Structure 1
Amino acid sequence: ENDTYTYYPFQENAVGRVTGYDSEDCSALIARTIYYDTIIQMLGEWKNNATVQTGCGLEFQKVPLLTTLANMISGGDEPTKWPTGESMFTNLHITHDLQESGFNVKNTFLLESQREGFSDLKSVGRKYILFPRVIEAISGENAVHGGENQRNSNIIFTFAHGFYYLYEAGDILMDARGFPPFTTMSRFYYMGSGLSSKGTYDVRSIVNSEYNPSVLFVESCIVGRTDGIMPQNTLSQAYLHAGINGMVAATRVTADPGYLEPGMIFRGFGAKGFVNATLNLKLKGEYPDMHFGAVIAQDFILDMAQGDNTTGMALRNAKNLYLPKDANSTFMWTPPLPFTTGEETIDRMVEEKMPQSMSEEGKFMDKKYHCLHEFTLYGDPAFNPYQPLNGD
């Protein structure tokens, strides 16, 4: 990385990590790359498929009364997970890009993006689940297609909440038993149901799956972390073990504003952004701006699918485009909000430069530089996946 001749840091080399549980996994990864063309010829239409997945709890608003109540209980100062439409438009935008690139795209929203759904909940008993039919209707095996879509896709984009050993699409909607008005309170463990665990993409489930040599981009916190952790406990290495050929994910906590525009009456709450974004898309064919990891994901995918670049070059180019695009964007917040370096003096210095309330907008450059560096490629950076637009 160099900034001698550029205003923002410029990554010069394509970087990827050939990793795995052991040398056998690394050898298998290299073999899949070398014999990729032969492998995909045996997979039929798979090479033309892509999937775009967005989960629950990715959007934030400052909901009158509810946000105040939640912060009184938690002692924090955070917005509330509440629908704004931001993740929906991210899904639609990347879906459009992939379709324009010649892929057959299956996109899913909210609970449909989970890995698997419930079945026969009535047998569990109403003592534990009061409304089993409601849960099966929104998160049953007939309503959930995320895991199947991933296994059947060459290019995979997913936007969810996660950690180094899992990510989940159910999140707050399942923890609130499917009733959004209760999402504020279900953030606290004694109010949550834990039902979101059923559909998680976790190490145990992925390592026992069979994937084709896909490219996966996960926009989520910490999913790409491997430092200081046994590889058998990391989701990135489980995906490689299962057959994925390239995976990009963040190694640390990644940020996202979770809203489209500040509200008109209550700042930080309202449907103004959603209405404007919908009208612009319908009337002008314009999508709202994306921020943070979504910007890198979009350019990474486009550089591969339309630019015929390798995964390593595509990620390099996407990172070099990121700050010029997003550096001047301002936000009221970029959850997750809690921040610490481990040093109280440094924490105070950083906090003094941040907006002092959720009503004051800031550029949050610390999180933008963080975003620039945290997305990591696992797999051979010279791997060039099949693109329908280019026919190879």
Structure 2
Amino acid sequence: IIGYVVQDVYLLMSRTLFCKKICGPPLEEDGWHNRFNFVFGEGFGETGGLFHQIPYAVELKKYGFKPHVYGDLRNSRQLTDLLHVYTGANYIEYLGHGDWYWFTPSLYGFDYINKAVDVAHAKNWVYNKPSVFLTSACLMARIDGIPPCMNIGVTMLHSGCNCFIGATRETGQEAGLTTLENHLIVDDLSVGEALRGEKRVDKEPPTYYVRVLYGDPAFNPYEPNNGFTDQGRPVIQQVSR
């Protein structure tokens, strides 16, 4: 559990305990509860989009999700901010290039730096509900020797995202997310249990050593097929006197 300040940590735990009250009931079929947004980056990120994100998006429909895939020419910061791609979905997955202070989905054309997502912009995002951000990009979870306010993952938590899973160092083609996501969605595990379960199966380095979770490991996100569940997290019970 990490944050800019101690208040961020308290909020992470509060969203775990009061998740159902914060999220409210799933009233819209294509609303936040059922949205799973995939973003793949340009510059070889298309491979992950083609062979993982698009097929997995089709599979997620069986579980009640409404997936959306944003790829080439649809992944700039300006466009994704306009469409609330990162703040308007229950689950967000990013495949592409990254670093500890930004990630760069849009590389083609002019001025790719201005189209990147960095801490200066992400700190102003507003997550009204506890979203989950998953990425196989390199270095986005690195915090050693870096102030918390300069890490893109911690910045998302500061803005209200409730879970960030990424890598502290460079990764390769072994950095898949399917096992982790299946533990969350199919097996209905908390984020901590899901990451632990993945590491029991996918042991290929370097991802095995460098993939980490920022957030409350007891947090169990809402899924359309599972609803709000208490699996893996504390339960608040009223004490009778």
Output the TM-score relative to the length of structure 2: 0.87
1:1-392 counterparts in 2 under 5 A? 18-41=1-24, 44=27, 45-58=31-44, 85-117=47-79, 148-171=84-107, 173-174=108-109, 177=110, 195-211=111-127, 212-256=129-173, 292-294=174-176, 297-323=177-203, 368-392=204-228
Give the secondary-structure state (helix, strand or coil) at the position aligned to 2:180.
helix
Report the Cα distance in structure 2 between the residues aligned to 1:247 and 1:315, rounded to whole angstroms.
11
Shift of 1:25: 1.1
Report the Cα distance in structure 2 between the residues aligned to 1:254 and 1:146, rounded to whole angstroms.
30
Task: Give me the identity figure in percent.
Answer: 28
Structure 2, unaligned stretches of length 5 or more? 229-241
1:220–1:254 Cα contact (<8 Å) kept: yes
Give the secondary-structure state (helix, strand or coil) at the position aligned to 1:204.
helix
Shift of 1:153: 0.5
Q: Deviation above 6 Å: which 4+ runs of structure 1? A: none
Shift of 1:29: 1.3
CA offsets 1:115-139 (integer angstroms, 9 cap, x no match): 214xxxxxxxxxxxxxxxxxxxxxx
Letter matched to residue 220 of structure 2 = N
Q: CA 1:112 to 1:161, structure 2 compared with 1: closer, same or farther past 3 Å? A: same
1:221–1:253 Cα contact (<8 Å) kept: yes
Shift of 1:94: 2.4
Tell me which protein shows more helix as a share of its residues: 1
1:114–1:146 Cα contact (<8 Å) kept: no
CA offsets 1:215-264 (integer angstroms, 9 cap, x no match): 110121100011111101111110000111111000001113xxxxxxxx
2:34–2:64 Cα contact (<8 Å) kept: yes
Shift of 1:381: 0.8
Shift of 1:152: 1.2
Give the secondary-structure state (helix, strand or coil) at the position aligned to 1:241.
helix
CA offsets 1:180-221 (integer angstroms, 9 cap, x no match): xxxxxxxxxxxxxxx112221210111101013101101211
Letter matched to residue 99 of structure 1 = K
Report the Cα distance in structure 1 between the residues aligned to 2:186 and 2:101, rounded to whole angstroms.
32
Which one has the largest radius of gyration?
1
1:97–1:302 Cα contact (<8 Å) kept: no
| Number of residue pairs the alignment of both structures matches | 224
2:4–2:149 Cα contact (<8 Å) kept: yes
Give the secondary-structure state (helix, strand or coil) at the position aligned to 1:378.
strand
Shift of 1:389: 0.7
1:111–1:169 Cα contact (<8 Å) kept: no
Q: CA 1:320 to 1:97, structure 2 compared with 1: closer, same or farther past 3 Å? A: farther
Report the Cα distance in structure 2 between the residues aligned to 1:21 and 1:86, rounded to whole angstroms.
31
Report the Cα distance in structure 2 between the residues aligned to 1:86 and 1:30, rounded to whole angstroms.
32
Report the Cα distance in structure 2 between the residues aligned to 1:318 and 1:252, rounded to whole angstroms.
18
Output the TM-score relative to the length of structure 1: 0.54
Report the Cα distance in structure 1 between the residues aligned to 2:167 and 2:122, rounded to whole angstroms.
18
Q: CA 1:114 to 1:147, structure 2 compared with 1: closer, same or farther past 3 Å? A: farther
1:114–1:147 Cα contact (<8 Å) kept: no
Report the Cα distance in structure 1 between the residues aligned to 2:201 and 2:208, rounded to whole angstroms.
10
Q: CA 1:376 to 1:20, structure 2 compared with 1: closer, same or farther past 3 Å? A: same
1:51–1:155 Cα contact (<8 Å) kept: yes
Report the Cα distance in structure 1 between the residues aligned to 2:3 and 2:66, rounded to whole angstroms.
30
